Amino acid sequence: MGLSSMATIFRSIPRAFRGYLCAPVPLSARKFSQLTDENRTLAGKVAVVTGSTRGIGFAIARRMARDGAHVVISSRKQENVKEAVDILKEEGLSVTGTVCHVGKAEDRQHLVTTALKHSGGIDFLVCVAGVNPLVGSTLAASEQIWDKILDVNVKSPALLLSQVLPHMENRGGGCVVLVSSAVAYLPVPRLGVYNTSKTALLGLCKSLAVELAPKGIRVNCLAPGIIKTDFSLREETMPNMLPELKKVFGVQRLGEPEECAGLVSFLCSSDGSYITGENIVVGGFSPKL
């Protein structure tokens, strides 16, 4: 085959998939590249994902973009945002990014404005950003610690959603996924304030699901078990729980961020269109048994 006919074939391939042809890609990426634009489950939609430059948030952003959404990446540091956006663009995915510390109102507004630039609306909001600055006694936690954990983990998703809401309503509906944790059901010792914040998210999910149902907006919660990320591996408490989980629930291994991402994409897709107010654990076990 001549070079010119190869170039013709290359040009006939949608731009978003050309990146896959130019570099060696893992099997999973090849699988996604075989989908056409029309049968991608999130095609034509816009997703905002907080805390998405690494770990679970990055895996969710990548998966939603592979499933056809335009994804707005964000986290606190510009260099991390740039790196994540560059990686996903290199894969031929439709992404933009901006700095957003979810605790700062002006950053949240900027995130919304950035998302609106793509096609004037927002369909999905995935609130992944979360912190845990304390390992220790719950009652010895300072007011500052309480404020930081509750501000970032609980208040920010609600405040960001209030800024996103009019733009979801304009689209005739939407889907929100909050990221809680299995610790909402099985509290980990010495992570009391964090446990409390993640339990509060289950309540937020239920209340918002009821409040927003008339607007066609669904709200669900992903509750990861122990997933291999900087967040969990940095903190010894989490991996050390594996033997306990093995003993009680038969859990064999830690989870991968990608194992959380599929659920989020499913919930946002039309396959999840009759699911709201649910808290779903992705942890290799169910603490609800």
Give catalytic residue positions.
Answer: 194
- With respect to ligand NAD, which residue has the nearer C-beta, 183 or 209? 183
Q: Does 282 bind ligand NAD (CB under 6 A)?
A: no
Q: Which of residues 133-152 bind ligand NAD (CB under 6 A)?
A: 152
Specify whether the CB–CB gap between 178 and 201 falls below 8 A. yes
- With respect to ligand NAD, which residue has the nearer C-beta, 75 or 96? 75
Q: Which of residues 99-138 bind ligand NAD (CB under 6 A)?
A: 100-103, 128-131
Specify whether the CB–CB gap between 156 and 129 falls below 8 A. yes
Question: In this structure, are strands 217-224 and 174-179 parallel, antiparallel, or unpaired?
Answer: parallel
CB of 8 to ligand NAD, least distance (A): 41
Among the listed ranges 9-17, 32-40, 48-56, 134-142, the one in contact with ligand NAD (CB under 6 A) is: 48-56
CB of 18 to ligand NAD, least distance (A): 28
Dist CA 116 CA 26 (whole Å): 32
Q: Could you give the string, one character per residue 221-260, with x where binding to ligand NAD holds by CB under 6 A and - elsewhere?
A: ---x-xx-xxxx-----x----------------------
CB of 234 to ligand NAD, least distance (A): 8
Contacts 24+ apart (CB under 8 A), 18-21: 18/92, 19/89, 19/90, 19/91, 19/92, 19/93, 20/91, 20/92
Three-state DSSP at 201 gives helix
- With respect to ligand NAD, which residue has the nearer C-beta, 33 or 115? 115
Q: Tokens representing 56?
A: 């679970």
Selected binder of ligand NAD within 53, 96, 195, 196 (CB under 6 A): 53
Residues 6+ apart with CB under 8 A from 105: 159
Q: Could you give the string, one character per residue 174-213, with x where binding to ligand NAD holds by CB under 6 A and - elsewhere?
A: -----x-x--------------------------------
DSSP states along 136-162: B-STT--HHHHHHHHIIIIIHHHHHHH
- With respect to ligand NAD, which residue has the nearer C-beta, 93 or 183? 183
SS3 content of the chain, % helix, strand, coil (to 5): 50, 15, 35
Three-state DSSP at 99 gives strand
Q: Tokens representing 195?
A: 């446990």
Q: Which of residues 56-95 bind ligand NAD (CB under 6 A)?
A: 56-57, 75-76
Site of interaction with ligand NAD (CB under 6 A): 50-51, 53-57, 75-76, 100-103, 128-131, 152, 179, 181, 224, 226-227, 229-232, 238
